[in-house]
Amino acid sequence: MVYYNVSSYNSDMFLVGILSWWYGHGWIERFQLERSRLKATADFFSVGLLVSTLFAPFKQISTGKAIGSINDRFRAFFDRLLSRIIGSIVRTFVIMAGLVVMLLQSIFGSIILICWLIIPLLPIAGLIMWVIGWTPS
């Protein structure tokens, strides 16, 4: 008759299950979370929309149609030109702010993903340091 140490078997399988989740499905979930945060930030700043409408008029000053005298036509042209310049300046600053926030998010997200891979190794490193007698000074 063969006796198995059931508690040892279960704890080994439990540890394998945790580590396989941590380096498999858990890491993929963490990556998808960081990616969705980046997409949400791009959506918050509307980077794609702002780039596509960069030189569109910002707020249309009530110039109406450029019909009438030459003076009215020049006034309407310069009003639209000024509106486009102001719009492009405002949109450029919002785009730059969005890109800076997205860059910082991607840097910190990468750090989090790297730490996610290293964290399970820390107890092993601590055990090794304890065995060799290393203590912080």
Give the model's pLDDT for residue 128.
93
Over the chain, what is the mean pLDDT? 84
Give the model's pLDDT for residue 44.
93
Q: Is 47 exposed, middle or buried (0-12, 13-18, 19+ CB in 10 A)?
A: buried
When pLDDT is averaged across residues 109-131 and rounded to a whole number, the result is 92
Q: Which residues contact 55 (CB under 8 A, 6 or more apart)?
A: 84, 87, 88
Pick the residue with more confidence: 84 or 113? 113
Give the model's pLDDT for residue 63.
56
Give the model's pLDDT for residue 60.
62
